[in-house]
Amino acid sequence: MLEDTFADIIGKARFGKERSLAVVARQAALSEERLTALEGGASPTEEEVAQLSSALSLDSRKLGVLARSEWEPQPQPPIPMIRWIDGRIGNYPVNGYLFVDPVRREAALFDTGYSPDQLLALLEREGVRLVALCITHTHADHIGGADVIHEATGAPIYLHPDEFPAGKRPPKGVLFLEEKREIPVGRFQIGHRSSPGHTPGGTTFFIEGGEGLNGPIAFVGDALFAGSLGRAESPRTYPLLLQSVQKAILSLPKETRLFPGHGPATTVEEERQHNPFFS
């Protein structure tokens, strides 16, 4: 199931463009009551999809496909080197991912999934050593429990310095990412690209491939969901989010498998074809 519905997408786009309900309703030739209903989950007509796409700078064809529930990313064969952390913050699901090099028995964690106990039990069960904790951004559902994991494993916490503005102290164990400096885990190297907009220092981590991996992979946090985006931090950062996703994520090889913070995995190729935020 996709993370975002038609209602979520138009709501995020309207927020990003900093337009009131009244303004967008007028631009789309809708009543405010009807737009409220659509943002609340009502099914749109084809004409409404086209009108809202024009008003909100979305791709009408792609948005229509999503509105009709005609697309989800193709199920991908499992990657034995990736363990999914099925986390919860309240009743809200959140993804964390443990990448394991089975030869060197070293692992890297991509976001905590707000589930340090689940992760620590997994490490013990697998008999692997955590050597890196890679945080895409510092919202609680992605970094929650990182201090517990660091204390238990000694693994450094890698994140972008822009996640900590002046006067805000990072947690113990943090190592700020440095441009073009990769993070080693077993036989693999983890690269990183800045993908701000959802947060100031949002980061996409990627591994270009290697034995047993069968192609490149990337962990994108909340910058991108299958068929959608994360919510921009503010209308001011909405253009930055669009630009950074295009530059940091959709420019990766088309076969790259993308693992978001919420919802199902997808690929660069499928997002180029189906994400309505990009024409």
Which residue reads 């935020």 in tokens? 277
Chain centre distance of CA 135: 11
The string of pLDDT tens digits covering residues 238-275 is 999 999 999 999 999 999 999 999 999 999 999 999 99
* Mean pLDDT value of segment 46-56: 99
Q: At what angle do helices 60-67 and 6-16 cross, to 10 degrees?
A: 140
pLDDT-based confidence at residue 232 (cuts at 50, 70, 90): very high
**Average pLDDT taken over every residue of the chain:** 96
Structure confidence at residue 15 (pLDDT): 99
Gap between the Cα atoms of 242 and 107, Å rounded: 31
Q: Quick check: 123 pLDDT over 80?
A: yes
CB 238 within 8 A of CB 223: no
DSSP letter at 40 equals T
Q: For domain 6-67, give the fold.
A: 434 Repressor (Amino-terminal Domain) (1.10.260)
Gap between the Cα atoms of 239 and 232, Å rounded: 9
Q: Quick check: 235 pLDDT over 90?
A: yes
The string of pLDDT tens digits covering residues 151-199 is 999 999 999 999 987 667 888 899 999 988 999 999 999 999 999 999 9
Structure confidence at residue 169 (pLDDT): 82
Structure confidence at residue 214 (pLDDT): 85
CB 130 within 8 A of CB 214: no
Q: At what angle do helices 46-56 and 32-39 cross, to 10 degrees?
A: 90
Structure confidence at residue 167 (pLDDT): 67
CB 195 within 8 A of CB 203: yes
Q: Quick check: 2 pLDDT over 80?
A: yes
**Residue 55: left (phi > 0), alpha (psi -120 to 50), or beta?**
alpha
User: Which CATH code, of 2.30.30.50, 3.30.1950.10, 2.60.130.10, 3.60.15.10, is assigned to 82-274?
Assistant: 3.60.15.10
Question: What pTM was computed for the model?
Answer: 0.97
Domain ranges for the chain:
6-67, 82-274
Angle at 249 between CA 265 and CA 14, to 5 degrees: 85
The sheet with strand 203-207 has its strands ordered as 183-185, 188-194, 203-207, 217-221, 257-260, 266-267
- β-strand pairing of 129-134 with 157-159: parallel
Say how many residues make up the chain: 279
- Strand extents, DSSP E, 70-216: 82-89, 92-101, 106-110, 129-134, 157-159, 174-176, 183-185, 188-194, 203-207
Structure confidence at residue 166 (pLDDT): 63
Residues 6+ apart with CB under 8 A from 51: 27, 28, 29, 30
